[in-house]
């Protein structure tokens, strides 16, 4: 006899199916991409919607996803006794509050193509824009070209994936609460992690975008590196291959520093690292068991249950700030204001937001702890995570020496969401094998020194060639997939060109290129006379400028050291231009070799000087001779008075 289902059972099945295809970046979607929408580059919506998970029913051919978490958990349990010594040590770039996110570099394909991807623990898919994308924005690097990779293979349609309309290839789609989305086909290729990684390149499945909307379209970074729990997560794929242990770590740089480090795989935890249990069955997101918050040593008068609402307390590396339930936010805000009574409260940098800002603390970040109170987060096991002022404050962008509260209310959502600001200068280890998350306060700019890990490569970052560079190089094999020295042999650089796109309205007046050239020269640490505008085009609000860096006046070429410095500053986005020029993106850069001169070009000046000197000497000699001759003639025709003159016969008439 067929078994009948009650409405409660049916609702439970539908909810499980919905979670199965929900991207973990539902948390990410509530806040992470808010950072791109305003002038400060790290703002949230004025009326930010509550954290909404984009629930969708599973397709008929994706039943495997319903057992994804359980299956992966069983596989990880089987590998608990295995010890993996290799891991991928990777650098983090950009800045949490300036850019709204941290990125890392991945190289995909053979030969490798470089991409800057936002590290996001709230997403389960890694994706990059592809060359055939119908609606993709202008990002940091060129789009991925599958036709240029010898190892790329599209994932063919099967029972474990959603397929395209033709039933040929597997597809993916991710929609976020702030109305941005990414969709495309799934492909498999070799992914390399850089030359600081002990982990050799691995084959992995990733998303090849053919459509992006919203903030994903307008962001500067190329795409997303999904670190969440899910079958398509980079971490899950590497763990399933046995390449790394089921753990990874993130370490965000501090205020005004940015950067940081990421490790895929296990690292020895420091002795004083504090841990909180993380329950994957409680929520698909990386959660911790927060019970209390202390300000200046005094606990907030709140029920511990307030931090356990809905999804509990969630860590999301893709979110900029922290969001607390209304009651806990009010208590936290009042406690901070009470402890900072000696500071003057001022308006925030954006009049559209009621930011809580303080003036009078000075600009030295290291001295903020003398002005603002310490904050402690207490876990259910009694261990405490200490937060310094840089973990709950951000700089006022318009008033020097002023700081604003980086903790906000989460509206009607009862979830506690902890973004990247809370863990700046904190090593966060996501120990998925043991279902716990560890925290260790440190200087993330010097993480390896603090961990005393030997054998770490020299910290000089690798700068690969632009695909459009005029220098021809053969692909470099694994493990790094990148050349150690981008200027081979005795290569001499004669010119560096780069294209910049500006989002600014130039309809009323053209930009002051002389002033802009001076700013670029200052940021790249070259002379203003070396920076030249080659071309400028403008269409609507987007303008494209091509610049060239020439050798100094006293040099024939740009030294390799100087060229490396210029290229690093360009690719690492160290140029900070005035806001009057709008936001910019580096579209492309090229290195041009010194042009070989012909014999005439090499000796033209010497020939000109020689000919000139010869002409001068010849003309001078001829002039002297003429003067001498004239004097001789004049002297020979002179006859003194009384001199005898021979008689001359007169001609007949």
141 is an active site residue: no
Mark whether 40 is an active-site residue.
no
Q: E-assigned strands of 278-424?
A: 287-288, 290-295, 298-299, 313-315, 322-324, 344-346, 357-359, 375-379, 384-387, 393-395, 402-405, 407-409, 416-418
- At 218, list the tokens: 């307008």
Q: Which of 120, 189, 215, 308 is catalytic?
A: 120
Residue 620, H or E segment: helix 599-636
Tokens 């984009």, residue located: 54
Whole-angstrom distance, CA of residue 501 vs CA of residue 154: 32
Exposure string of 557-580, with b = 16+ CB inside 10 Å and e = fewer, is: bbeeebbbebbeebbbbeeebeee
Per the CB < 8 A criterion, the answer to whether 375 and 387 are in contact is yes
3-state SS assignment for residue 110: coil
Q: Please, what is the angle between helix 513-524 and helix 560-571, to 10°?
A: 110
Dist CA 459 CA 539 (whole Å): 41
Catalytic residue, from 34, 95, 316, 355: name it.
Answer: 316
Q: In what order do the strands lie in the sheet with 416-418?
A: 287-288, 313-315, 416-418, 322-324, 407-409
Q: How many residues does the chain have?
A: 653
Provide the total of helices (H) and of strands (E) in the chain, helices listed first. Answer: 11, 32
Q: Which of 309, 295, 292 is nearest to 382 (CA)?
A: 292
Query: CB under 8 Å to 274, separation ≥6 — which residues?
Result: 379, 383, 384, 385, 438, 439, 440
Helix, strand or coil, per DSSP, at residue 615? helix
User: What six digits make up the tokens of 134?
Assistant: 């119908």
- Residue 451's SS3 state is helix
Please name which of 303, 318, 314 lies closest in space to residue 279, comparing C-alpha atoms.
314
Residue 524: φ, ψ to 5° = -90, 0
The set of catalytic residues is 120, 316
């Amino acid at each position: 006899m067929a078994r009948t289902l009650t409405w409660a059972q049916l609702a439970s099945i539908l909810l499980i199916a919905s979670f199965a295809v929900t991207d973990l970046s539902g948390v990410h979607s509530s806040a992470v991409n808010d950072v791109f929408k305003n002038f400060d580059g790290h703002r949230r919506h004025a009326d930010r919607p509550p954290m909404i998970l984009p629930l969708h029913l599973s397709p008929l051919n994706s039943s495997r996803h319903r057992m994804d978490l359980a299956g992966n958990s069983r596989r990880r349990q089987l590998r608990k006794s295995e010890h993996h010594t290799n891991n991928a040590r990777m650098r983090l770039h950009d800045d949490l509050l300036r850019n709204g996110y941290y990125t890392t570099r991945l190289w995909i394909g053979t030969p490798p193509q470089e991409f800057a991807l936002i590290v996001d623990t709230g997403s389960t898919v890694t994706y990059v824009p592809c060359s055939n994308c119908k609606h993709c924005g202008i990002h940091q690097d060129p789009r991925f070209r599958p036709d240029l990779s010898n190892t790329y293979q599209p994932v063919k349609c099967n029972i474990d994936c959603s397929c395209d309309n033709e039933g040929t290839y597997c597809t993916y789609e991710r929609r976020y609460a702030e109305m941005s989305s990414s969709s495309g086909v799934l492909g498999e290729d070799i992914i390399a992690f850089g030359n600081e990684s002990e982990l050799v390149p691995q084959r992995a499945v990733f998303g090849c975008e053919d459509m992006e909307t919203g903030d994903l379209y307008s962001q500067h970074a190329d795409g997303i590196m999904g670190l969440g729990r899910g079958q398509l997560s980079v971490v899950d794929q590497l763990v399933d291959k046995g390449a790394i242990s089921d753990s990874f770590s993130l370490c965000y740089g501090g205020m005004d520093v940015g950067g940081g480090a990421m490790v895929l795989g296990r690292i020895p935890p420091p002795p004083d690292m504090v841990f909180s249990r993380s329950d994957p069955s409680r929520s698909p997101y990386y959660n911790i068991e927060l019970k209390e918050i202390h300000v200046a040593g005094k606990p907030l008068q709140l029920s511990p249950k307030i931090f356990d609402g809905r999804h509990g307390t969630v860590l999301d590396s893709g979110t900029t700030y922290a969001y607390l339930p209304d009651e806990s936010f009010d208590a936290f805000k009042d406690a901070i204001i009470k402890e900072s009574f000696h500071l003057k409260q001022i308006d925030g940098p954006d009049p559209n937001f009621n930011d809580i800002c303080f003036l009078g603390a000075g600009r030295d970040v290291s001295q903020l702890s003398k002005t603002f109170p310490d904050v402690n987060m207490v876990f259910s096991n009694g261990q405490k995570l200490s937060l310094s002022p840089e973990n709950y404050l951000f700089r006022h962008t318009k008033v020097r020496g002023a700081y604003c509260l980086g903790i906000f209310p989460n509206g009607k959502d009862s979830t506690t969401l902890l973004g990247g600001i809370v863990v700046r200068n904190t090593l966060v280890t996501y120990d998925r094998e043991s279902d716990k998350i560890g925290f260790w306060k440190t200087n993330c700019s010097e993480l390896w020194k603090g961990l005393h890990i030997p054998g770490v490569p020299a910290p000089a970052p690798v700068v690969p060639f632009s695909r459009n560079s005029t220098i021809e190089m053969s692909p470099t094999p694994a493990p790094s997939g990148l050349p150690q020295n981008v200027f081979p042999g005795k290569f001499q650089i004669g010119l560096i060109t780069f294209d910049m796109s500006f989002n600014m309205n130039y309809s009323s007046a053209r930009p002051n290129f002389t002033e802009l050239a001076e700013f670029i020269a200052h940021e790249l640490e070259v002379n203003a006379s070396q920076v030249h505008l080659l071309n400028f085009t403008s269409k609507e609000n987007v303008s494209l400028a091509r610049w060239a860096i020439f050798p100094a006046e006293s040099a024939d070429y740009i030294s390799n050291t100087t060229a490396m410095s210029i290229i690093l500053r360009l690719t690492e986005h160290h140029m900070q231009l005035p806001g009057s020029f709008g936001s910019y993106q580096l579209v492309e850069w090229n290195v041009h070799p010194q042009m070989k001169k012909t014999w005439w070009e090499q000796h033209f000046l010497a020939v000109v000087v020689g000919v000139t000197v010869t002409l001068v000497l010849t003309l001078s000699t001829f002039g002297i001779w003429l003067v001498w001759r004239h004097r001789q003639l004049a002297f020979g025709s002179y006859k003194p008075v009384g001199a005898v003159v021979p008689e001359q016969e007169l001609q007949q008439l």
